[in-house]
Amino acid sequence: MVRKKRTGTGESSGEASGAPGQGSSQPAERAPQQHQQHGGGRGGPRPRGGGMPQPSYGGHMGGRGGHNVPPGQSRTVPELHQAPDVQYQAPVVSPSASGAGSSSQPAAEVSSGQVEQQFQKLDISDQSSTSQAIQPAPASSKSVRFPLRPGMGKCGDRCVVKANHFFAELPDKDLHQYDVTITPEVTSRGVNRAVIAELVKLYRQSHMNGRLPAYDGRKSLYTAGPLPFTSRTFEIALQDEDEGLVGGQATPRRERQFRVVIKYAARADLHHLAMFLAGRQPDAPQEALQVLDIVLRELPTARYSPVSRSFYSPNLGRRQRLGDGLESWRGFYQSIRPTQMGLSLNIDMSSTAFIEPLPVIEFVAQLLCRDISVRPLTDSDRVKIKKALRGVKVEVTHRGNMRRKYRISGLTSQATRELSFPVDDRGTVKTVVQYFLETYGFNIQHTTLPCLQVGNQQRPNYLPMEVCKIVEGQRYSKRLNEKQITALLKVTCQRPQEREKDILQTVHHNAYYEDPYAQEFGIKIDEQLASVEARVLPPPRLKYHDSGREKDVLPRVGQWNMMNKKMVNGGRVSHWACINFSRNVQDNAAKVFCHELAIMCQISGMNFAPEPVLPVLSARPEHVERALKARYHDAMNASKPPGKELDLLIVILPDNNGSLYGTLKEFVRLNLDWYPSVVLQNMFLR
């Protein structure tokens, strides 16, 4: 819920022209007057106290039931899915004694004309005062009023579990939103953030009343209180990140000029968030939650590598090699959430793939899985290298402390020793090897390898691979192969105790109590995991067919064994087939596997045909689509009656199949309307 700002005269102050600090040509700025609550509207000032309103449980006080918790006592552990006892009611205006009719007249009998007269007589506030009453939030037309829970579950063994939520105190601040326009417009959030960071560094004390704003990287900026202007224009000079030393002298950096216009937009009202947390409002105010989320993301965005709603860093955990020049980085996900226990920060651990910061020569060797100095690259090698390196940022290492950064646009078709280019306007031509030796004193060793192309395609620059190193912190966004996925899953799979330890270490490392943005906006984050009451439900007893050795079984710790058990109503598979795409699985072994599978399914109570409709087909992985189409039509013709589709298709794949698994699944689903069952080679050979 946002509300427009008003000044003391009821008009918006004028927009300042030009950059700040240009003397008398700039109109005087007026600070907007603070909004103050009075006795009307919501019934007086909000009881802030320690920040977040504490819901209580068990009675009829405070909107959620239960007696208020005295100061100093710990928060009561709530029940799961506990519904508020007090229903939300729309505000009702009662007729006053001065209205028409006697005071004993029932409210239901007041005529519409009388109600209209009474509404006209309502005086919200003194006309001479700048105070504004906070109006009730209207119920959303799209909201759904869910029925209250009739009671609490009692089945199972009660216990207390720890959740990866950390209680947060609701800030006692007036949050203001400002629109940000940066010219020339750029698409990079990083550049936008660098511009605003430079602006805050230069003008925070002189033009922003010392306020530390939070910025979303696009069009919105938020402050904990008003800025001393309604609209203002700033001129910002941003320097490139590339810098270094040559001969002991600092090299000049290129500057880019930006014009930044900051204009007041609205006020984010936290009162309705407090009402929602207390159970007195049905709709969660997403605008206020978004502001708090942006505030808590500001410092991690500057510290770590942001990816969607997560943050990654090599300092948050040990790096793990995934193969082919990739490595995994540990990170964390965070999001502010409204819960029955109040406002909380949800934090969880995550991992993702980054390009390993290796010398390009070493990266290419890992990518091709061989020593690239032994034999020249093939055409397929060049295609693979170009695909992997396009768009990757590298830094040069042959100029001492001068580590300029470039983005790779392509790969030369010629070897380094064959490349030449004009070095002046007179048409003087030098080879790349000669130029690097004469200019930098660097003797290129791998002259048979191609050069990296950087810059635009019209006038590319050539960089030998051995003078380039991949810049750290570049996320790999392409599809991982099977080997890399397996390595990444090993990193992410953790026991609960290990995950809890990592989450607590992350919270301690983030030090929210020292976060300047959290302090500016009055947000306090608890450093202990939230405790929640839970119940362990008893497992259901499983019923099997009477002809089996065991007719029923009670699972233990969520596990049970299917040996010597038979399904009550087993499925029917009358038409099935098998395709083998693994070279290491012989045709006879595939036939034996299919025969034993049919027998095992029959023993388990399924009506499973003992033989496939067609013999097992062996095909090459690169011909997967052609083999599937051919088998589809052959199976349709061989079935009885003709035209009957397969009930089951078994596909045997090699272990390291790259993207073959995904390609196969997608092709079958979109073109053949089958549901294949895939068996990997290592599982098959057990």
At 255, list the tokens.
């500057």
pLDDT of 110 above 70: no
pLDDT of 117 above 80: no
- Res 252: pLDDT: 53
The 10 Å Cβ neighbour count of residue 537 is: 10
Q: Which long-range contacts (CB under 8 A, 24 or more apart) does 236-240 make?
A: 236/195, 236/198, 236/199, 236/202, 236/260, 237/198, 238/191, 238/194, 238/195, 238/198
Q: What is the 3-state secondary structure (H, E, C) of 136-160?
A: CCCCCCCCCCCCCCCCCCCCCEEEE
Residue pair 349/331 in contact by the 8 Å Cβ criterion: yes
Rounded Cα gap, residues 247 and 381, in angstroms:
39
Q: How many residues does the chain have?
A: 686
pLDDT of 464 above 90: yes
- Side-chain half-sphere of 125: how many Cα atoms within 13 Å? 17
- Res 216: pLDDT: 94
Question: Which residue in this structure is represented by tokens 């977040």?
Answer: 52
Rounded Cα gap, residues 286 and 147, in angstroms:
22
Q: Does the 570-684 domain belong in CATH 3.40.50.2300?
A: yes
Least confident interval from 104-118, 433-447, 496-510: 104-118
The 10 Å Cβ neighbour count of residue 249 is: 7
Same fold, 360-470 and 570-684: no
pLDDT of 612 above 60: yes
pLDDT of 641 above 50: yes
All residues at 6 or more sequence positions from 27 whose CB lies less than 8 Å from its CB, including other chains: 14, 16, 17
Residue 400 gets the label, from left (phi > 0), alpha (psi -120 to 50) or beta, of left
136-160 confidence digits (pLDDT tens): 455 555 556 667 778 888 899 999 9
Amino acid symbol at 433 = V
DSSP 261-287: EEEEEEEE--HHHHHHHTT--SS--HH
Rounded Cα gap, residues 214 and 223, in angstroms:
7
554-589 confidence digits (pLDDT tens): 898 888 888 888 888 888 998 898 999 888 888 888
**Averaged pLDDT, 660-675:** 76
pLDDT of 18 above 50: no
Angle at 546 (CA atoms; ends 545, 547), nearest 5 degrees: 90
Task: Please choose, from the candidates 617, 647, 619, 610, the residue with its C-alpha nearest in 3D space to the C-alpha of residue 634.
Answer: 617
- Res 457: pLDDT: 72
Task: Please choose, from the candidates 292, 370, 368, the residue with its C-alpha nearest in 3D space to the C-alpha of residue 334.
Answer: 292
Q: In terms of CATH, what superfamily is 360-470?
A: paz domain (2.170.260.10)
Listed by start position, the domains of the chain span: 360-470, 570-684
